[in-house]
Amino acid sequence: MENSVNENVTQASVGSQSNLLDGLSALGLLGGAIAAAVTSNVAAGTIPVAAAVGLHLVNRRQLAEQMLQNQQTATAQVIEQINQHQAALTDYLQKFQQETGDRLDQQQQTQTSHQQSLNEALAQQNEQLQQQLTSLQEQSQQVVEAEAQRHQELVAVVNELHHMENCSHSLEAAPQADAYYQRGLSHQNLGDRPEALCDFSTAIRLDAELAGAYFQRGIIYAELGDRKPAVEDLRQAAKLFFDQGDLEQYDRARELGKEFYDLQEPFSGDTAKKEEVPVAGSEDDEAPHFQPLLVEEINVTAESLFS
């Protein structure tokens, strides 16, 4: 607005000067005409006219110069305004680019954070699924092993039953101490202690020198809590093993009978006790091992039987 006011003032000043010069030129022309009419001398009349023309030319020249200067001034002002607008526009563009860049960076950070969180969640889920898969595989392996163990036990039971059947067929032909002894071992392995006692006793009645029958019967008595007959059978087994030259079994029977005899509790004499205890040589209290049990495989102690 200040520039417009200055421009208006300048134009007014120029206009005033132009009007003044035009007035002087008109006076010069009028004066020349009057002088020529009064003096009847044309030469005298041309002097004021020339002066008026000169003044007019000077006026027009000054006016043109002033207009050129005004145009230059206006042009400079326009250029300055353009520069100011361009600077303002440049500043706005810079701010806009900065804000846009900040927003893009923030969006990129947010996206990166969400992607990282998603990756962590997926990794955690993958780990959990892997753990579940591992657990299922372990459970499946345990089931397979358990089924394999049951299968082996069933096979062992079937083998023992076949062995008992063969022994029974042999006994149908003729009573034999060894057949009763072998069938008693099968009964013992299957957990049928009363039948095992019966077969071992029958084997001893048929062959009083069958050391293994005394040994196994003593073990069963010990398992049932009848320690007095257990000690007697183990002592008799040790004597027979010694007479037969089986020193290893002699030492076993002797040490086991001594341990039973040295126990602090008195013998109960309760031969009808039917508590379930592990099979001799077994370490699994939940299910007996149905493997064929030979005399050489017996490894029991007084602690395991009477504790």
pLDDT for the residue numbered 46: 60
Q: Stretch 67-88: mean pLDDT, rounded?
A: 87
111 pLDDT more than 90: no
pLDDT for the residue numbered 288: 32
pLDDT for the residue numbered 73: 87
> How far apart are alpha carbons 249 and 227 in whole angstroms?
20
Buried b (16+ CB within 10 A) or exposed e, 48-63: bbebbeebbeebeeeb
Among residues 230, 235, 236, which one has the least CA distance to residue 217?
230
73 Cβ neighbours under 8 A, 6+ residues apart? 7
Which tens digit of pLDDT belongs to each residue from 184-213?
A: 999 999 999 999 999 999 999 999 999 999
> How far apart are alpha carbons 35 and 27 in whole angstroms?
12
User: Could you tell me which residue, 135 or 2, shows the higher pLDDT?
Assistant: 135
* HSE-up of residue 284 (Cα within 13 Å, Cβ side): 9
pLDDT for the residue numbered 92: 87
237 pLDDT more than 90: yes
To the question of pTM greater than 0.75 for the whole model, the response is no
How many other β-carbons are positioned within 10 Å of the β-carbon of residue 223? 22
> How far apart are alpha carbons 109 and 101 in whole angstroms?
12
pLDDT for the residue numbered 287: 31
139 pLDDT more than 60: yes
The average confidence (pLDDT) of the chain is 77
> How far apart are alpha carbons 98 and 60 in whole angstroms?
55
Angle between the N-to-C axes of helices 193-206 and 177-189, in degrees from 0 to 180, rounded to the nearest 10: 160
pLDDT for the residue numbered 279: 33
Tokens, residue 135: 């657990």
Among residues 212, 213, 231, 209, which one has the least CA distance to residue 221?
231
pLDDT for the residue numbered 100: 84
> How far apart are alpha carbons 222 and 260 in whole angstroms?
8
What letter represents residue 249's amino acid?
Answer: Q
Q: Which of 73-82, 104-113, 233-242, 258-267 has the highest mean pLDDT?
A: 233-242
**Contact, 59 vs 18, CB < 8 A?**
yes
pLDDT for the residue numbered 241: 95
Confidence of residue 39 (pLDDT cuts 50, 70, 90): low
Tokens, residue 287: 């299910």
Q: Stretch 125-144: mean pLDDT, rounded?
A: 90
How many other β-carbons are positioned within 10 Å of the β-carbon of residue 14? 17
pLDDT for the residue numbered 80: 87
pLDDT for the residue numbered 266: 43
Which tens digit of pLDDT belongs to each residue from 278-293?
A: 333 333 333 333 333 3
Angle between the N-to-C axes of helices 193-206 and 211-223, in degrees from 0 to 180, rounded to the nearest 10: 150
pLDDT for the residue numbered 238: 94
Give the SS3 label for residue 46: helix
Q: What phi and psi, each to the nearest 5 degrees, are found at residue 299?
A: -145, 80
Confidence of residue 64 (pLDDT cuts 50, 70, 90): confident
